[in-house]
Chains A and B, each alone.
Chain A
Amino acid sequence: MTESPTVHGRGLRRLAFATALTLGTAYSLVFFWTPNEADQGFIQKIFYVHVPLAIVSLCGFMAGGVFGLIQLRTGKRVWDMRSYVAIHLSLMLATAALITGAIWAKASWGHWWVWDEPVLVSFLVVFLLYACYQPLRFSIEDPERQARAASVFAVVAGAFVPLNFAAVRAAVSYTHPRTLGTTTGGMPGSMMLTFLVALLGMSLLFVTLWKFEMTSKNARMRLASVKRRIERDMAAGGTA
């Protein structure tokens, strides 16, 4: 067994500690340090969960697109696996972002869903599109074709994400807080800092989960290949 140790498992333990620490710090700050927002009160604190979730999942979708592109350029299957793991983790985060977004909308605007709100609507469209990724992927048996079709989808959808946000934003009036745009100046320093820590924590969480799943997938694949080799050796030994 001289195969190189998988790159994905390296530093996973340290990364997991860092993630736990950052997220723990972030949400301690949320509860014990940041002021309640004057308008919305306590419920506004869901902001520190919702916005990082949304941002990280969108970045994850786009990372999936970049990995897909690399797969198409190099033809290496591992990039397809990376793209797949990034997209399917992002899909989970996106689900959580939609749910937290709906809760926040209900609490602060009185409705579970608000159509005149570009970020939520574009997020839903992106979510619906990516929900087709797994059906597409697993309805193609041939692994080679599967990797290619999935990567093409990842690239197209990754490019679609910013385009869609621009188009939806052009279509509706502005009611959503511009998190990273105009209101940043108006956000108190303590809120901004906490938000950034939470964003960092969420990104670390994503990377940790991604590395974890890649490690596990790699280990499973190597186990399968080792098993096949042993079976082959035993069969060869039996006949000799």
Chain B
Amino acid sequence: MIRDTLALLRKDLLLELRGRESLPAMALLAGTTMVVLHFGLGRNTVSGSIASGALWVTLLFSATLGINRLFVAEQEEGGLDAVLLTPIDRTAILVAKTLTLFIYMTLLEAIVVPAFDLLLLGPPLWPALLQLMGVLALANFGIATVGAVVGAIAVQSRIRDLLAPLLALPLLVPALIASAKSTALLFDASGPSQIPGRWPLILALYALVFGLLGVALYDNLLDD
């Protein structure tokens, strides 16, 4: 099971490394969103809840792109049929897709957060960096578990590109609330303050619930 998962993960990452279809687009969209936010908000620097909102809007929009592309290779090249012909547990596919998305988001944030600090963020990033990384990691798990399920649902449909963001964004609202509330404290103009324990708790719980839902339901999405 672990070997299968790793093999599938390696396949996804290799595909991305060779084809470069998802991550560059996600990073570009994030950069463009920040430019749009600069003009849309009419501000050169942001702090507090505006900064937090700007960061999460940027990340979520890019995430929907990634979710959208998650199953494209499977669908367009018939890769899924090939994978389903092998005696691989369906759960391994889910876990591999979740990890793929998690890695995409982590890499994306490695680009976006410094760029955000450079372009928009008012207060210094360094004092808040450790806590921010914690929040981002937890949020990534939520985004990855939701994204793997939504991607698998949306890919069944003719209008996949339309549905993936429309399904993913409302489903991600609870994760967004918890992460945005947390980072608003970190980006406060008067310096970062301690995040109350309930927000990380909500994020972790959220990832857990969707992870379990995914495991319970994936068989039904990928069979046939």
Tell whether, in the assembled complex, residue A148 and residue B173 are in contact, meaning their CB atoms are under 8 Å apart.
no
Chain B residues with CB below 8 A from A92, complex form = none
Q: Which of A125, A149, A166 interacts with B221 by CB under 8 Å?
A: A149
Q: Chain A, interface size: which category? A: 20 to 34
Chain A residues with CB below 8 A from B76, complex form = none
Please provide the chain A residues from 85 to 139 with a CB less than 8 Å away from any CB of chain B in the complex: 125-126, 128-129, 132, 135-136, 139
Q: Which stretch of A21-29, A153-161, A173-181, A199-207 is in the interface?
A: A153-161
Q: Which of B149, B156, B174 interacts with A163 by CB under 8 Å?
A: B174
How distant is the Cα of A158 from the Cα of B202 in the complex, in angstroms? 18
A-contact 0/1 string along B75-102, CB 8 Å cutoff: 0000000000000000000000000000
Chain A residues with CB below 8 A from B103, complex form = none
What is the interface of chain A mostly: helix, strand, loop, or mixed? helix
A162 to chain B: closest residue by CB: B209
How distant is the Cα of A136 from the Cα of B152 in the complex, in angstroms? 12
Given contacts A153-B153, A163-B174, contact A129 B158 (CB under 8 A): no
Chain A residues with CB below 8 A from B221, complex form = 148-149, 152
Given contacts A128-B170, A163-B174, A168-B174, contact A152 B217 (CB under 8 A): yes
Q: Which of A128, A139, A157, A163 interacts with B206 by CB under 8 Å?
A: A163
Tell whether, in the assembled complex, residue A148 and residue B220 are in contact, meaning their CB atoms are under 8 Å apart.
yes
Chain B residues with CB below 8 A from A125, complex form = 170, 173
Is A144 interfacial (CB-CB < 8 Å)?
Answer: yes
How distant is the Cα of A153 from the Cα of B171 in the complex, in angstroms? 11
What is the interface of chain B mostly: helix, strand, loop, or mixed? helix
Tell whether, in the assembled complex, residue B174 and residue A167 are in contact, meaning their CB atoms are under 8 Å apart.
yes
Chain A residues with CB below 8 A from B170, complex form = 125-126, 128-129, 132
* Most A C-beta atoms less than 10 A away, residue of B171, B198, B209: B171
Given contacts A164-B173, A164-B174, A171-B177, contact A139 B166 (CB under 8 A): no
Tell whether, in the assembled complex, residue A151 and residue B220 are in contact, meaning their CB atoms are under 8 Å apart.
yes
Chain A nearest CB from B148 CB (Å) reads: 11
How distant is the Cα of A132 from the Cα of B160 in the complex, in angstroms? 12
How distant is the Cα of A141 from the Cα of B159 in the complex, in angstroms? 12
Is B41 interfacial (CB-CB < 8 Å)?
Answer: no
B165 to chain A: closest residue by CB: A132
How distant is the Cα of A34 from the Cα of B107 in the complex, in angstroms? 61
How distant is the Cα of A160 from the Cα of B128 in the complex, in angstroms? 31
Is B72 interfacial (CB-CB < 8 Å)?
Answer: no
Tell whether, in the assembled complex, residue B173 and residue A139 are in contact, meaning their CB atoms are under 8 Å apart.
no
Report which A residues bind B (CB closer than 8 A).
72, 125-126, 128-129, 132, 135-136, 139-141, 144-145, 148-149, 151-153, 155-157, 159-160, 163-164, 166-168, 170-171
**In the complex, given contacts A139-B163, A140-B157, A170-B177, what are 16 additional A-B residue pairs having Cβ atoms less than 8 angstroms apart?**
A125-B170, A132-B163, A132-B166, A135-B159, A136-B154, A136-B157, A139-B157, A139-B158, A140-B156, A141-B158, A152-B153, A156-B153, A156-B210, A156-B213, A167-B177, A171-B177
Which 4 pairs show the lowest CB-CB distances between chains A and B? Answer: A167-B174, A129-B170, A139-B157, A149-B156
10 contacts between A and B (CB under 8 A): A129-B167, A145-B156, A151-B220, A152-B153, A152-B221, A155-B216, A156-B171, A159-B209, A163-B206, A166-B202
